[in-house]
């Protein structure tokens, strides 16, 4: 924080994005990535057909788009939050006794997050901060 001398006592400026909103955005990214991956695991556990499970890339895209507009590390933290459940998910096998579809499913989360990051950075606010 910047200190401004006003009379006898130093007065601090208002809180800026770097003071409390950056950690909030980073926490939302970590928790959001974990929650979305947990929902994706639940969709898999419920027995949803594979083509519908790949639609879980869109919530990752939307979260990444929203956070990439304000914080360049947000999408990477989404992936960090999704890593524990994603690493568990790729150990499962499909009907043909292959790991291919679970790996593609987690890969679709990664691709959705990276596309959201690209779109968020492309259409970001000029100031780069929360309005």
pTM of the shown model: 0.78
Q: Closest by alpha carbon to 66, among 56, 55, 54, 77?
A: 77
Mean pLDDT by runs of 10 across the 131 residues of the chain is 55 57 86 93 87 92 90 88 91 84 92 94 67 47
- Cα–Cα dist 86/64, whole Å: 17
Q: CA-based diameter of the chain, in Å?
A: 76
pLDDT of 72 reads 80
pLDDT of 9 reads 56
Q: How far is CA 69 from CA 20, 66, 105, in A?
A: 17, 6, 25
pLDDT of 4 reads 52
pLDDT of 2 reads 52
Q: How far is CA 81 from CA 24, 39, 97, 127, in A?
A: 14, 13, 28, 27
């Amino acid at each position: 924080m910047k200190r401004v001398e006003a009379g006898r006592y130093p007065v601090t400026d208002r809180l800026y994005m770097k003071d409390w909103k950056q950690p909030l955005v980073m926490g939302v990214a970590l928790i959001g990535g974990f929650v979305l991956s947990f929902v994706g695991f639940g969709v898999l556990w419920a027995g949803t057909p594979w083509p519908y499970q790949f639609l879980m890339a869109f919530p990752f895209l939307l979260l990444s788009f929203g956070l990439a507009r304000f914080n360049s590390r947000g999408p990477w933290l989404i992936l960090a939050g999704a890593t524990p459940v994603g690493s568990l998910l790729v150990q499962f096998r499909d009907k043909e006794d292959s790991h291919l579809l679970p790996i593609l499913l987690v890969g679709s989360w990664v691709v959705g997050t990276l596309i959201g990051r690209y779109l968020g950075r492309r259409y970001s606010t000029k100031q780069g901060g929360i309005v």
